[in-house]
Every structure is written in C-alpha cells, then in structure tokens.
Structure 1
Amino acid sequence: MGAQRAVRGTAAAMLTLVLSACGSGDGADDQTEREDTDKPASAPAHGPKGFAAPVKFSTAQAVALPDSAGVGKSGLAGYQRPLPIALHKGVAFISRPDGLEVSDTLQASDPLLITPEHEPVTKIEQVGGGSANNPAEAPLITSVGGRTLAFNALVTDVPGSGTSKGHEAVELMATDTTTATKSWFVEIELVEEEDEFADDRDEAYVVGRSGDTVVVFARGEVFGVDIKSHKRAWKADKWYRNGPVAVGDTIVAVTNNAGSDYQVIGLDGANGKQVWKSPRVNASESGSGLDVTGPDSVLAYEYADGTEEDEEAEGREYLLDAATGRVRRAFPEDSPTGRCSYDGLSVTVCWSTRWDDEASTHIDEAAAYDPKSGKELWKLPDASSDRMAPKVTLVRQGLIYGTTENGPVVVDARTGQDKEDAPGIAPSFTDGYVGVTETLKGVGYTAYRAVG
C-alpha cells in the first residue's frame, strides 16, 4: 500500500511512541471525532495530560507544524481558507493534495507522509505562492470498530493497462491514528476533466460521516463510501458547489447544474437520494454558504424573496432543520451571521466584522443562539456594559476562543461572559492537548501545549 517517507530513526520512533501512548488513553479529543467529548479528560497511561475544554496554553511549550499546515491557504487582502488540519491526542493530521502528513505536536520530530496508491495530480510543491490554491481540507477523524481512523481524499492519475485507457480517480485513504499507517483505501473513478489545467481538477475532500458512510466531495460530485465493505456505496445525482456538510443522517449541499438556480437540498446519507429541496435560491457567491449549527441544524445563506432576478434582492441567513429543510428561523439582515459554528454542547455561535461609518473602523460582532429555535441568547458588543466582541478563532466544547484589542480571550459560549482573560493564545484548533494558531513570533503555524 502507500509508502511513507523515510525519517531519522529516533524521530520516527519518538512519533510512534507518542501515537501509541496517546492512542491508548481517554484524553480529550478533537471535535471532529464522533465520540463523547463532554466527559472530563484523563491522562493516557504513558502520555501527557489532556483537558476536555482547555483555557490556558503555554507559549513556552511550542512545536512548529510542517509548512503543509498553511501553504496555499492565504490569498490577497488577508483572505484565509480553512486549514487542512485535524488534531487527535497531541498529533496533527494534515491533508495535502498528495497525501496525509502526520506530525507530533508535543515534541519536535520529523513528520510522516502517507501517500496514495497512484501519482497525485497535484504535489504540495505546486501550491502556495501567495494564492489560496491548496484544495486539501481537514481530514475526518472518527472511530470505526474500536479503532480511530483519519480519512482524507485526493485526486490521482490511474495508469492504463493493455487496451484500457488510464483515468483519474479520487482516492479515499483511511489512516490508523495509532500506528500512522494506511489501513485501507478506495478508488472512485471520476468523470474525465476536459481541461487538465482546470481549477477544480484536484478538488477532493471528505465531507463527513453519516452512519456507516463516509461522504466525499470531488469535482462537483458527491459520493458515499461504506466504511465496513470499503466500497463506494452511492453517487448522488446532480452536480454540486463546493462545501457540502454532513448533519446527522443528512448531507446538505448546494446544487450547481448549468442553466438552473443554485438551491440548497438535503441528501439521505445512507443512499445519496434527495429528500428535500429549499424553495429559495442560494445567495452565496463563493463556496456553499452552509454552516453546521447543531446536531440537527444547518445555516444556509439564501435570497429572502426566493429568487436572484431582482437586482435589489438581499441575502439572508436561514436556520434549517437538516433532516427536512424546514425553516426554524429567518435571521434579521443585521445579525452577525457571517460565520457560525456549533459548540458541541448546546449553543450556536455566530460572528462577523462590519464597517462602522461613524467610527471609521471595523467592528467585530458575535452572538449566541439556541440551535433548535434560533433564539438569541446574547450579543456583543454590549454598549450597556461597555464590552466588545472577540474576533472568534474557534468554538468548541462550550467555549469561544478569540482575540480583542486586549489580547487572546476565552468566553463562555452559553453566557457570553469571560472565562479566561489570559489564555496565552487564541487557537484555531485544539484537541485538549495542544492549541494550534499562527506562530506568535515567526511565520507558519505552531502547536502550543494546553496546561489548564
């Protein structure tokens, strides 16, 4: 199966030790896992202590991540695409267009690279250069049959044989997080790309998991792979915009068929069949405009009047029941719903930045909502208490991580009150063992140890 890059013996042995030690305990896990992370964390038998909801990080205990963690994700005007990182018990799993990189975040060592079976259509060396052109998205980390696997997808060139022509395929790789080796893989043939230089030629990533199905998006198509049989289970009809999301047993996506409106639809995660379609038109100009806002809800950005024909039509955010498409709430146009995220417990947090003409400056806004009803729980800034909103970096396990003019801060997601005003960093990711953010003194991304 796929090879892994040779590393110095001591570094490879150290990474294996960390993987084995952390894999054997019940420490805090990344929020991408389908496990109960609400219980208190305990230290693995031979590893560092983890915290279910860390509020302090040590800037003195830092380990730099490989360049692949951020390369090709930043563009002009500070545009930042989501990073291709998932954490699991102190180890970073980084999706690349040519493999999966496994890097210890608790102590410096050379990373391991898990490679596909065939030649990838894009190498990591071909992305970057100040452009947001890295197609890789964060891998999915989830438990399967008593093991924890990291799933990522990429596009490869499959050579022909005899009279059979070669073709391109999306490869779904399942990597064992304990041993950092490829456990199994699936190749799904793709519709031939007419333009070998097309922007979406290397576009493939894992959407999420629905039951025993891992859902993959590639070049506008959505596939389901059975994690028990290791075979493609279904292929959805239609073409879709990038950014589908998995919510419970439903895959919510936005259609992208030529000559028709973009519409939000729900697909059955078990068979890929359409189960509902929004009567409105998707208003997002890039991506899908979808955010997972709870265990059974999704936020969709759509035209309020149901059509985009009116030049004055304005987009609004709709909180939808993921299983039925029913509207739970239509948010007012001035709501801070630029980005939204579920805290994993009971709250949906939304945030945005707006331009204030009177103050001639940008102002950060944040608000919390009930994911069932959309009822507002609190909102910042709050003029009555003279409190500002944080620039949010992460929402996880009842906490909001972010920054203000005073530095990093941790806020209670349920109440909006400060939980910790000196956390050390404002992480974009945390698994309870480390927090990952832009390097404080330098370039790239660094993991900082969680200490409380």
Structure 2
Amino acid sequence: MRRLVSIAACLGVLAATTACGGGSVPTGLATDQAGPAGQPPASSAQPEAVTADPPLAFDTSKGVSLPRTALQANMGGSVTSKFMTLRDRTGYIIAPESLSAVDVLTGGEKWNTKIEGPAADPNAHKGPFVEQSGPRPPLVTDKLAVGAVPLRMPEQGTTPGYIALAVLAVNPETGAKLWQTNTKIADDQYGISGDRSVTHVVAVTDKAVVASFTQSEGNLTVGLDPATGKQLWERKDFDAGSANGDLVVGVASKVTPDSAEVQPIALDAATGQQKWAGAKATSVELLQADPAMVVMKFNEAGTGHAFLKFLDAATGAEKFSVEGTRNLGPDSYGDCLYDEQSVLACTDSGVLTAYDAKAGTKLWSLPDAAANRVPPGGLTVAWHGALYGYTNGKQPIVLDAKTGKDLSTSVGFVPDWVSKYAAAGVDQDGSPKAYPVKK
C-alpha cells in the first residue's frame, strides 16, 4: 500500500534510496546522447509532447525508465524517499557522489556533475527498507540547480579528518559546475558522522543559498553567496525548514541547556540575523506553503498536543491553528501537501482537509456524509490546483484542490511527481518510471 507522502521539508524537502550513480541511460530507449557536464547533449532533438496544467491523465503505454537514484521504494512498491526534483521535462537527481539531470520523456541523461570529495554516506540510496536519512531533492531555479550531501574529509598527517556539508551549484541547463562549498561540521572524534544524516537545500535566492545538515548529534545551517558559494553565515543547532521571501524559518534545538525543547525561529537569509522566535515545543516540522505564511506541525511543550499552525512569515504572529487528533510525536498531526499555488491539503486520522495556504482558513474536508463521499485511500503529490492519489480500491484519482471534487478517475497512474509534461513514480516492482501527459 502506498503511504501518504508529506511534502514537509523539509523541505521543502524531504526526499532519500537506491543504487548510487545516476549516470547510465536505460537500455532500449530512444534518447539524446548524453554529453559531459557543462555541455548540451550531442543531439538536441526532442519528441513532440502533450502538455497540460494540471494534467488529468498519463499515457501508460509510453513509460520510460528513470535512474534508480531518483527514489527509494519499499518492498510494497511505495516511494519512501525522493532524490529527484521534476521541473518541466527534466528530473534533477542528487546522489552521494553527483548531481545529474535526465529527460523524463526519453530517459536520456542530460548531464552528470561530480561532487568533489569522499561521500560520508555512500549507501544513502540503497536498501529496501524505509530510511528517512539521506540527501533531499535538489532545489532548482532558472539560474541554479543546487544539491547538498555530507562528505567525510580524510585526515592529513596529524590533522584529523572531519565531516563537511558540501553544497554544489551548477547551471541547470548544461550541468556546468559553478561552485562547490564544503563547510566543516565537526571532527570525526567528536562523534558526528555523515551516516544517517539529512542534507537539504532550503533557499536559492538572488541574495543567498541556504542549506542544512541534520543528525541526532547536531545540526548546522549555512548561508552562501549564490554567485560564488562564499560563506555568508553559519548557525549550529539550527535546521532550516522553509523559505519565506528574504527570511528562512527553521527549528532551533538546544534552546535551553538541559531541555529537549525546540523552537521555530526566522533568520534573514542573507545575514543569518534572527528576526523572530516562536513558542517552544517538543517538536516542530516546517511545511512547504505560500511564502507569506509559515506553516508547521507543532507539538506543544508541556502537553505534547499536536497542532497545525499558520504564522505570518514577517512577524511570526499566529494567524490560524487547528488541533490534531494524534498526539504521539513529531508527525502526529498528519501528512500535508502543498499544490504550489494556493492550497495545503492535510490528512489526519482518515480525514482529508484542505486549507487556503495564503489565509490558513479551511476550504473543505472529506468524508462528506451528506454527499456520500469518502476521502481517497492516499495522496501522493499535489500540483497546480490538483491532488493526486488513489482510491480505497487502489485506483488512481485526481481531486480539485480548491473544492475537493473529483477531477479525473481515468488517470492511468499514481504519480509521486507531476509536471505539465509528465508524471513520475514507481512501477509494480518499485523501479522509477515516468509517463508522458495524455490530457
């Protein structure tokens, strides 16, 4: 059974795997010949493509295999971790040793850019079990594709080795390497390693690139110059979670010397200066939503009660809050998906509720006994006003994000990524696959 996929950042975000590499083109597919990093493919011919925004059906007769490094799936065929960002017809994939791009309509690799330095967690993409650690999908804009991984830098004589957060920025069209910055996290002998860590890029703006390393033993977030990669600031015991204009909001740990409590705080993305701090909690998870609103799953300090909270990004003032029914830990509220336009849809204890992502107000919910309607069996992705998932009978379905009404019951495939060109996810044996838009 597919599990509900959260778009929490976490991050954005978010996202770890299968065999490392990401460089080979699946055999038996018509593809452009892959070129080296920094150069376009030898052939620029591209097949004609059907597009829709949002798409309501996919052509399952034209499936294309994707690199296994795009995702990790469990033995039941559900995606457990994502390493790919789908933008139009290009999938950008982060692996422990490289950042690569693939054309999802042909399966052809467009470029593969190496990350310099030994991977601290080379097996982050391997294994059939649910594993939440690893690198999260890269963040891609018109100017930059940026990924982050942990490195284990070797000792040099009497100078001890250390763990570093590597952030790589490339040209999103050609893969040409623009810069790589390695930030020291800790010496090996202090107990922090890259194993079972999470690395993710949270913001890419004209002012800063912000990336984080998180592990049970410690966190680190850095702000980097987007043109050169030069470090602008760093903050320990802070995990960035969402980009909100010129602010980055995240979770500060070790807020008091002898407490396990955490606290949401906002930093200036370019300087690292703290702008506001929220209430202390036993756990906080930031969700992707409208940039003007900070949305988080929040377990209240003292009671542990779970809430979905909407805060004004500029001030941290609470705009809207709803209490969840599962008060048993950091993921106790439920799973939430943002459609990248205006709706946040959350499932909690079998109830699917959609919220206005700009105002935090409730739009609709299922089940609806009066209309004889039940919620889907699960949601996997949201995109441009549409919610994609499957019915209780395991059939693909698309809902209107603003109204909750059925948009399509002839989808053909349950996607984990969607663009106007294609859907991507797993086939029956858990292998990554993409299907072009049909309508």
**TM-score category of the 2 structures, normalised to the smaller one:** 0.7 to 0.9
Deviation at 1:152, TM superposition (A): 0.4
Residue 87 of structure 2: aligned partner:
88
Q: Do the aligned partners of 1:68 and 1:124 also contact (CA within 8 Å) in 2? A: no
**CA offset digits 1:90-120 (Å, max 9, x no partner):** 2221112222233332124468542211121
Q: For residues 118-170 of structure 1, give each alpha carbon's deviation from its aligned partner in whole angstroms, at most 9, with x where no partner exists.
A: 121222477425251641111001122xxxx3210112234566775544322
Deviating more after overlay: 332-341 vs 404-413: 332-341
Query: Aligned equivalents of 1:131 and 1:395: distance in 2?
Result: 22
Deviation of 1:229 (Å): 3.0
Displacement of 1:222 after TM fit?
0.8
Please give the per-residue CA displacement for 1:199-223, whole angstroms capped at 9, x wherever unaligned: 6575422122244211100141111
**Mapped pair 1:375 → 2:361:** yes
8 A Cα contact 2:306 2:325, kept in partner: no
Q: Is the 8 A contact 1:97 1:202 kept in 2?
A: no
Tell whether 2:317 aligns with 1:298.
Answer: no
Q: How does 1:110-189 map to 2 (within 5 A)?
A: 113-124=112-123, 127-132=126-131, 134-144=133-143, 149-159=144-154, 166-189=161-184
Question: What is the CA–CA distance in structure 2 between the aligned matches of 1:399 and 1:451, rounded to whole Å?
Answer: 16
Separation in structure 1 between the aligned mates of residue 31 and residue 435 of structure 2, nearest angstrom: 21
Matched, 1:435 2:434: no
Equivalent residues, number:
401
- Which amino acid is the alignment partner of residue 67 of structure 2? P
Structure 2 unaligned spans of 5+: 1-20, 327-331
List gaps (5 residues or longer) in structure 1: 25-43, 355-363
Residue identity over aligned pairs, in percent, reads 26
| Aligned amino acid, residue 404 of structure 1 | T
Question: Relative to structure 1, is the Cα distance of residues 8 and 448 closer, same or farther in structure 2, using a 3 angstrom cutoff?
Answer: closer
- The reply on whether 1:400 has 2:387 as its aligned counterpart is yes
- 8 A contact 1:247–1:292 mirrored in 2: no
Q: Is the 8 A contact 2:151 2:163 kept in 1?
A: yes
| Distance change (3 Å), C-alpha of 1:419 and 1:96 | same
Aligned residue for 1:39? none
**Which position in structure 2 is the counterpart of 1:268?**
268
1:47 to 1:389, Cα distance in 2 relative to 1, 3 A: same
Which residue pairs with 1:66 in the alignment?
Answer: 67
Query: Could you tell me how far apart the structure 2 residues matched to 1:101 and 1:165 are?
Result: 31
Find the counterpart in structure 1 of residue 49 from structure 2: 48
TM superposition shift of 1:351? 2.0
Structure 2 counterpart of 1:239, one-letter code: D
Q: Which amino acid aligns with 1:271?
A: T
User: Helix, strand or coil for the counterpart of 2:33?
Assistant: helix
SS in 2 for 1:266: strand
Counterpart of 1:14 in structure 2 is 33
Report the counterpart of residue 213 of structure 1 in structure 2.
Answer: 208
Seen in structure 2, the aligned counterparts of structure 1 residues 13 and 417 have a Cα distance that, compared at 3 Å, is closer
TM-fit CA distance, 1:404? 0.6
Kept in 2: contact 1:224–1:234 (CA 8 A):
yes
Q: Provide, for residues 67-95 of structure 1, a one-character-per-residue CA deviation record: whole Å limited to 9, x for no partner.
A: 22223x659x9996441110133222111
The one-character-per-residue Cα deviations of 1:210-251 (angstroms, maximum 9, x if unpaired) are 442111001411111111232111112x4035x622222221
Q: Given the alignment of the two structures, is residue 346 of structure 1 paired with residue 342 of structure 2, yes or no?
A: yes
Q: Is the 8 A contact 1:280 1:302 kept in 2?
A: no
For residues 265 and 82 of structure 1, do their structure 2 counterparts lie closer, same or farther at Cα, with a shift above 3 Å needed?
farther
CA distance in 2, matches of 1:295, 1:188: 27
Could you report, residue by residue, the CA deviation over 1:365-401 in whole angstroms, capped at 9, with x for unpaired residues? 2111122432211111111001111221111111111
Residues 288-327 of structure 1 mapped to structure 2, 5 A cutoff = 288-304=284-300, 307-308=301-302, 310=303, 313-327=304-318
Shift of the 376–7 alpha-carbon distance from structure 1 to 2, 3 Å rule, reads: closer
Structure 1 residues 4 and 184: CA distance shift in structure 2, 3 A: farther
The alignment's C-alpha RMSD in Å is 3.5
Cα distance change on mapping 1:207 and 1:193 into 2, 3 Å: farther
Aligned AA for 2:85? A
- Residue identity matched to 2:388: Y
Q: What is the SS of the residue equivalent to 1:384?
A: helix
SS of 1:298's equivalent? strand
Matching residue of 2:250: 253
Say whether the 8 Å CA contact 1:157–1:167 is kept in structure 2. Answer: yes
Maintained 8 Å contact 1:8/1:110: no
Per mean C-alpha deviation after superposition, the further-off stretch among 182-191 and 404-413 is 182-191
Q: Is the 8 A contact 1:97 1:120 kept in 2?
A: yes
Give 1:119's aligned amino acid. P
1:418 is matched with 406
Determine the C-alpha separation between the residues in 1 that align with 2:97 and 2:421: 27
Q: What's the offset of the Cα at 1:301?
A: 2.6
* Alpha-carbon contact 1:65-1:105 (below 8 Å) kept: yes
- The AA in structure 2 aligned to 1:251 is V
Give per-residue Cα distances to partners, 1:227-285, cap 9 Å, x unaligned. Answer: 1232111112x4035x622222221111221523211111111211211111241x43x
Q: 1:6 to 1:263 in 2, by over 3 A?
A: closer
- Report the AA paired with residue 275 of structure 1: K
Say whether the 8 Å CA contact 1:153–1:173 is kept in structure 2. yes
The letter for the 2-side match of 1:416 is: G
Question: Which residue of 2 is the match for residue 329 of structure 1?
Answer: 320
TM-score by length of 1: 0.78
Contact 1:57 1:448 in 2 (8 A): yes
Could you give the per-residue CA deviations for residues 301-339 of structure 1, whole angstroms, max 9, x where no partner exists?
3344xx32x5xx422221111221110111133499512
Please give the per-residue CA displacement for 1:350-369, whole angstroms capped at 9, x wherever unaligned: 223x2xxxxxxxxx321111
Q: What are the superposed Cα offsets for residues 34-75 of structure 1, whole Å, 9 maximum, x if unpaired?
A: xxxxxxxxxx9875343332111111111122222223x659
* CA distance in structure 2 between the partners assigned to 1:138 and 1:4 by the alignment: 13
